[in-house]
Amino acid sequence: MTSPPAASASATAASGPTPPTPPAPRGTPLIRAEKLRVEYRGRSGGGRVRALRDVDLEILEGETLGLVGESGCGKSTLGRALLRVIEPASGTIDFLGLNITRLRGTRLRRTRADLQMVFQDPFGSLNPRRRIADIVAEPLRRARGASRAEAGPVVAELLDQVGLGAEAGRRKPHEFSGGQRQRIGIARALASSPKFVVADEAVSALDVSIQAQILNLLSDMVRERGLTMLFISHDLGVVRHIADRVAVMYLGQIIEVASRDDFFSGPAHPYSEALLSSVPSLRPGGRRERRVLEGELPDPANPPEGCLFRTRCPFAEDQCRTRMPELRTIAPGRTVRCHLPLVPGSTEKG
């Protein structure tokens, strides 16, 4: 999907004698989280785990946003909260301008048709007893209320598009390889013609040789259907391949959002830099040395005061110990939650 034409700036121009500078061209948000908070009861009976801490995030129509961060930082929780699979403790989710945070019943079911998920585990996520045609048809029948006869041709075409052929519909999951099962998972996610898809570690369980095929299939589908995708992955190389923008999470917070090129050429948050530096082929500015993250990931039930990253940050100073930084815009389309962001393109402090 393309951005709306620049003509939209004229609406604001009419309101005063000096027209404001038109905003930099950007897409319209498809889905937006505002101050989204999700808490789990501690697994060991202890306190609450804040899995999302007031997450603000916009995903623009037609884009693929890559979501990265260490295990346990809240990526899956954010993906599932946006899809209304888990209930936020507070905050709002807007989808196409509609607040969907507390939708129930029929309206939730209808909205769900527009919001779908491609799962990580191609073996665990398909019911082994059902035929592929029924598995793929399920979201179409449940969320859009299609009959079996109505779903049939849609499913056949989808199985064709994902490269399996319509005849695959008569078979069962065990007859397929991991990569083929992921194609089935993609067909299922697309059956209800969603507008937004969350792919949560969708290629992580696959052999490297198969990963590229599935990534290409996903990005073709996104482009051809004008989909918007949140692509969750711990693999930065994969994210660079598929994402238009990148968002980084740390301990339940978004700490940086940037275009793919800005992010990979010069991350603004010290944590982003450490993540990139752990992958030799992705080190910004051709640096050879690895910037090792000091210390352990803090207990999410008991996070540090001030900036959540400061216990592992090589640049932390007094203000970082006392004040939590806001997520602020440092350049058009670029936000960072750091008192001392790295100058884009450089490894020195600005």
Tell me which residues touch ligand ATP (CB under 6 A): 40, 43, 49, 51, 69, 71-77, 234, 300
H/E segment holding residue 110: helix 105-114
Residue 40 contact partner, candidates Mg ion, ligand ATP, none, CB within 5 to 8 A by sort of partner: ligand ATP
Q: Does 120 bind Mg ion (CB under 5 A)?
A: no
Nearest-approach distance from CB 198 to Mg ion, in angstroms:
11
Please say which residue, 42 or 165, places its beta carbon nearer to ligand ATP.
42
Report the DSSP beta bridge partners of residue 36: 55
Enter the DSSP assignment of 349: B
Least CB distance to ligand ATP at residue 234 (A): 5
Cβ closest to ligand ATP, residue 43 vs residue 104: 43
- What's the gap between Cα 89 and its chain centre? 20
Task: Please name the residues in contact with 223: beta carbons below 8 A apart, sequence gap of 6 or more.
Answer: none
Q: Which range touches Mg ion (CB under 5 A), out of 6-14, 72-80, 165-173, 276-284?
A: 72-80
Query: CB of 115 within 8 A of CB of 194?
Result: yes
Interaction between residue 76 and Mg ion (CB under 5 A)? yes
Q: How far is the CB of 52 from ligand ATP (least distance, A)?
A: 8
From Mg ion, ligand ATP, none, which one binds at residue 169 (CB under 5 to 8 Å depending on kind)? Answer: none
**Spatial CB neighbours of 11, under 8 Å, sequence gap ≥ 6:** none
Give the nearer residue to Mg ion in terms of CB position, either 176 or 271. Answer: 271
Instruction: In whole angstroms, give the CA distance from residue 156 to residue 318.
Output: 61
Interaction of residue 77 with Mg ion, rule CB under 5 A = no
Taking the complex as a whole, the smallest distance from the CB of residue 43 to Mg ion amounts, in Å, to 15
Handedness of CA 88, 89, 91, 97 (dihedral sign): positive
Do the Cβ atoms of 162 and 184 come closer than 8 Å? Answer: yes
Stretch that binds Mg ion, among 71-79, 143-151, 154-162, 338-346 (CB under 5 A): 71-79
Give the binding range for Mg ion (CB under 5 A) out of 32-40, 73-81, 96-104, 236-244. Answer: 73-81
Strand order in the sheet with 90-95: 48-60, 29-41, 90-95, 98-99
Q: Tell me the CA distances in angstroms from 331 to 261, 263, 336, one per residue in order.
A: 13, 12, 10
Q: Is 233 in the site for Mg ion (CB under 5 A)?
A: no
Q: How far is the CB of 182 from ligand ATP (least distance, A)?
A: 17
Interface residues with Mg ion (CB under 5 A) are: 76
